[in-house]
Structure 1
Amino acid sequence: MRIIFMGTPEFAVPTLDALVAAGHEIVAAYSQPPRRGNRGKTAPSPVHARAEALGIAVRTPLSFRREPGAIEAFAALEADVAVVAAYGLILPQAVLDAPRLGCLNVHGSLLPRWRGAAPIQRAILAGDAETGVGIMQMEAGLDTGPVRLEGRTPVGGKTAGELTAELSAMGAGLMAKVLGDFDRYPAVAQPEDGVTYAAKIDKAEARLDFARPAVEVERQVRAYNPAPGAFFEVGGERIRVHAAEMVAGSGGIGSVLDERLTIGCSEGAIRPILVQRAGRGVMTSAELLRGFAIPEGTRL
C-alpha cells in the first residue's frame, strides 16, 4: 500500500518500522516540529529521526487548519491509507477523508475505555487489571471510531514505561496484520457503555499524595515512571521515586514511620525502593539515607 505515516514519540517508531519491513511504500512521514530540549538544543522527534534514517521524506506542519496548503499537500500524496500513532495534532475531516481507506490509529487502550491523551497512565492509576491496544478507524470524534483489531495484556505491576513499550510493539504487529489483509478485519463500532476519558497528565499530579491509600500511591509511582516522575519533598528538596512497595504499617499521613523510609498513608504505608535526588543518579532508599537524613517522624 501507499502509506502516509503520522507519529511523534518513541511509541510510534515500531509501527513505522513494521510497515517498512512489510514492504509498504511510505510516501511521507508527518511528525510534530523539532522541539527545544532540556539543554536548549533543538532536536527532531523520534519518528522524524527514524524516518529520515529510512530515507522517508518528513513533513512537520504546526497545524493542518492554519498552515496554508497543508491539507492540499496531504491529499496530493494520493495515499491508500494514513497510519497514525501518537501524532499529537487534531486531524480535520478533509485529512481523514483524503486517503482511499481513511486513517488508522494505534491507540493504547481497550476502547471505549480511556479515550484521549494519556490512556496508559490512566489505566495504571485506576487500577485496571487489563489494558491493551486497538487499531481504530479514525473519525472526527475523540477516539470514537470503530476498531478493526485489538490486543490485550495484564497491567500487573508494570510501570508506564514498561507498558508503553509493550503496547507499542503489540500495536505495530496488529497494524501490520490489518494492512496485510485489510478486508479480513472489518471495523466494529465501539460499545456505547464504558466510555472513560484519559486526560493529559499534568506535572502537578506527580506529587505523591499520602492522603490516599497506599495502593493508590504505589500506582502513582508506576504511572509517572518514567515521566513526569513521582516525587515528594523534604527540607525544600524534591526526591523522585522510581519504584516503591506497599508495606504493613500505620501512622500519621505523610509521616516517616521508621528508619527505612516507610511513609504513612490514609490506609497502609508505602516504602520507596529506588529514589533520586536532583542532579544525582538513581539509588536505593538505604543509599539515600546514608547521605541525606530523613528521621522518623518527619512529615513529607
Structure 2
Amino acid sequence: MSIRFRQLQAFHAIYETGTVTGAAALLGISQPGISNLLAQLERETRFRLFERVKGRLIPTPEAGVLYQEVDTVVRGLDHVSQAVVDLQNKQGGQLQVASQHALSFGFMPKLIARFAQTRPDMSISFQSQYSSKIQEWVMAGLFEIGICEMPLLYDAFEHHPLAVETLVAMHEDNPLARHEVLSPALMEGEPFIVMGPDHMTHRRTREAFHTAGVPWRTRIHTHLFKNKLSFVKEGMGVAMLDPFALDFDEGGGFVTRPFRPRIMMDLVVITSRARPLSALGQEFLALLLAELAPYAAAPEPTAG
C-alpha cells in the first residue's frame, strides 16, 4: 500500500467540509484534483469512503475510523505550516490552547481576546475537541495548554484540577422553578436531557436517583452541553449543566436551580511534562487559572 499525505489531506478536508467544493477551497486546489486524490485513496484502501446524498458526501463507517487516525497527523502539519509562516512574518509568539467544548463557546474566546489586547503581534491557535483528543494533542506537542475533563489518560502532564458544580437548567415556565433547591424526589418523572452514558454527569445523576430510590427519566441524549441548553429552551426537558454553558449564554429563556446531592464535573488544565512552556504560555496559564478559580465548588459543610 502506498498512501500519500496529499491523499489523506484531501480526505480530511472532504470529511470536515462535506463537499468536494469545500475541500478544494480549503486546500486551494481544483475540484477535479480533490476528486482524483480521493479516488486514489479509495483504490489504495480498497473500500468506499463517502456516499453522495443530496449533494453532500456522507462518510462511511470506514471513513469515520480512518478520520480518527488521520486527524492528528493533518492538524499537526497545519501547525508546522503556521509555525513557518510565523517565523517568516516574525510574529511575536503563538498562543496554543485547546479546550473541551463547554468552555469554548464563551469563556475561552473572551479570555483569549482579553489576553491578546496588549499583544497585537501574537498569533493564536485555538481548537475545541473531546477531552481524550485534547490530551493526545498536548502530549504530542500540538498545543501547549489543554482544558479537558477527567480522567487523565496518560501520565505525561502537569495538571491543575478544578471541580465545578452543575446546576439544573429548565425552561423559565417550568413549575419546578418554584423550588429553591431540587432533588430526585422533587424531579420524579421529569424528562432529562443528558450526555452519553459514559459522561460523568450522566453517571452521577443516575447514581443520585438510584440512591434516592427514584426512577430517572431520560428523554434526549446528546453530546454537547450547548445542545442540552438549546433543548431546555425549547421546553423539551431539564438538564444538568456546567456554569460555563450557563454564564456565557446570551439568549435567556431558562432558569437554574441547585441540585442536591451535588453533581460535580471534574475539569483539569494540562501542560506537557516533557516540554517547558513558552513565556507566552506561562503568562496565559497564570491568567487562565486565576479566571477559573472562582468556578471551583466550595467544599460541602461537614455535619456537626
Flag whether TM exceeds 0.5 (same fold).
Answer: no
Normalized against structure 2, the TM-score is what?
A: 0.26
* Larger RCO: 1 or 2 (CA < 8 Å, sep 6+): 2
Kindly indicate which of the two structures has a greater share of residues assigned to helix.
2
Normalized against structure 1, the TM-score is what?
A: 0.26
